[in-house]
Amino acid sequence: NAGVMQNPRHLVRRRGQEARLRCSPMKGHSHVYWYRQLPEEGLKFMVYLQKENIIDESGMPKERFSAEFPKEGPSILRIQQVVRGDSAAYFCASSPSVRGVDEQYFGPGTRLTVT
């Protein structure tokens, strides 16, 4: 059973471009979480999604950021008009159910660098 997959692993964008980060959850998992980790800092919750639904996006910046988890295909975190402050590692995690703070399985992350 493959783990959580994220791609690309590294992404370089110039200021003003768009960044699209993909996450394929573990097989059988229908819950996806996105977290951001700034350099030398801890993990910050961004958004929690189930298939075709955003359950909690309280950690998402109000502008430029969006997320989706379609019925088919990976979850996508999209950052429009990137700025240098968006440079960070973005981690996706999946879980099989929403039993409270369920055991989440993390992907290897996408490291976004904005030049």
Residues at the interface with another protein (CB under 8 A) = 4, 33, 35, 42-45, 48, 56, 58-59, 91, 93, 99-109, 111
Nearer to another protein, 39 or 71 (CB): 39
Cα→Cα distances 22→64, 83, 104, Å: 17, 19, 17
Closest distance between another protein and the C-beta of residue 109, in Å?
Answer: 5
Beta bridge partners, 47, equal: 34
Nearer to another protein, 66 or 104 (CB): 104
Nearer to another protein, 8 or 16 (CB): 8
Closest distance between another protein and the C-beta of residue 95, in Å?
Answer: 10
Cβ of 20: how many Cβ atoms within 10 Å? 14
Closest distance between another protein and the C-beta of residue 70, in Å?
Answer: 22
Nearer to another protein, 74 or 109 (CB): 109
d(CA 33, CA 14): 26
Closest distance between another protein and the C-beta of residue 1, in Å?
Answer: 15
* Strand blocks (E) in 30-87: 31-37, 43-50, 53-56, 65-68, 75-79
d(CA 1, CA 70): 21
